Amino acid sequence: MQIEIFILVDRIRSLSIENGLAQCESAVPVDSSIYLGHFPGHPILPGVLLIESMAQTAGWLILGLTKFERFPFLSIVHEAKMRDFVTPGTQLLLEARLLHEGSGFYKTSNRVLADGKLKCEAETTFRVMPFPSPTFREHVIAQARRVGFPPELVPNAG
Amino acid sequence: MSSTFDTVANIIAETCDIPRENIKPESHAIDDLGIDSLDFLDIAFAIDKAFGIKLPLERWTQEVNEGKATTEQYFVLSNLCERIDELKAAKGA
């Protein structure tokens, strides 16, 4: 997890287009300036970052479903529930499951676990639209390779 | 159409917190009920699930933007329900 540049997924553990399921891994940083304010003497990962980590996991799933032709922009977060503190150094398992593919939108069900214990969950809706620029798409494809996106599903940039 | 309308009206009432009695077949989802495009994603999801269809929102939006259709054709609820019934029939054909 690279909080400072808002990259919250370290690695894709598995991604199944057929089953509409993505599992990713991420390690919560041991040190981060965020803990100076959140909170002194009680460092925990902010809930908004947990939501974003779920959104990024769902984003990888949707990129696979759209074959990197369209980008998913987070539009709605439904009833997010933060069930437990997430502390520095925690290894997270992030899961996103496809609930529905609509016309121009996708809905997913997501959760975050640590040591098999549910930490938070939410459903999310994304609008999908063509990449706003070729540079953006190339960046996303490079990131896909970095996180271990199944190579056969990653297009050539350009 | 009436059962389709009842289902759609109930979805709109629940999703957008609009009193059910204010939702009529002649209501325009956008102009009369104040439903915005984001709320309509939730409604489209519920309609897709309820009827086992996929509302072609992108095509409709494109047609409206290009002047090939009016919003009334798709977003007045009686017309929306007709479109839903057509999609249901096409699916069953």
Structural domain count of chain A: 1
Question: Residues A137-155: what's their mean pLDDT?
Answer: 94
Cα(A68)–Cα(A41) distance, integer angstroms? 43
Higher pLDDT, B19 or B2: B19
> Does B46 lie at the interface with A, CB-CB under 8 angstroms?
no
For B54-81, the pLDDT digits (tens) are 999 999 999 999 999 999 999 999 999 9
- Cβ pairs A/B, distance under 8 A: 35
Identity of residue A92: L
Q: How many Cβ atoms from other residues are within 10 Å of residue A155's Cβ?
A: 11
Q: Which residues in chain A are contacts of B87 at CB distance < 8 A?
A: none
Residue A132 pLDDT class (50, 70, 90 cuts): very high
- Cα(B10)–Cα(B47) distance, integer angstroms: 10
Tens of pLDDT, residues A62-83: 999 999 999 999 999 999 999 9
Asked whether the predicted pLDDT for residue A158 surpasses 70, the reply is no
- Which residues span the domain enclosing A53? 3-151
Domain contains A63: yes
CATH number of the domain enclosing B11: 1.10.1200.10
Question: What is the rounded average pLDDT of the residues A27-39?
Answer: 95
User: Looking at the predicted structure, is the pLDDT value of residue A111 above 70?
Assistant: yes
Q: What is the pLDDT of residue B91?
A: 86
Using pLDDT thresholds of 50, 70 and 90, give the confidence band for residue A157.
low
| Structural domain includes residue A158 | no
What pLDDT band is residue B22 in, cutting at 50, 70 and 90? very high
Q: Is the confidence at residue B1, as pLDDT, over 60?
A: no
What's the token pair of residue A67? 């074959």
CATH, residue A71: 3.10.129.10
d(CA A116, CA A146): 26
Question: Does A128 map to a domain?
Answer: yes
Comparing CB atoms, the residue among A76, A104, A127 nearest residue B42 is A76
* A56 burial via Cβ count (<10 Å: 0-12, 13-18, 19+): buried
Q: Is B53 on the interface with A (CB under 8 A)?
A: no
Secondary structure of residue A32 in the 3-state scheme: coil
Name chain A contacts of B59, Cβ cutoff 8 Å: 103
Catalytic residues of A: 38
pLDDT at B93 over 90: no
pLDDT at residue B92, rounded to an integer: 76
pLDDT of A31 above 70: yes
| Angle of helix A47-65 versus helix A134-146 axis, rounded to 10 | 100
User: Which stretches does DSSP call E strand in chain A?
Assistant: 11-16, 21-27, 70-82, 91-101, 105-114, 117-130
> Does residue A24 lie within any of the structural domains?
yes
Kindly provide the ipTM of the predicted complex, given to two decimals.
Answer: 0.90
What residues of A are in contact with residue B61 (Cβ under 8 Å)? 104
Q: How many domains does chain B have?
A: 1
* DSSP 8-state class, residue A7: B
Domain assignment present for A112: yes
pLDDT band at A131 (very low <50, low <70, confident <90, very high): very high
Q: Which domain holds residue B57?
A: 2-92
Give the per-residue pLDDT at A44.
97
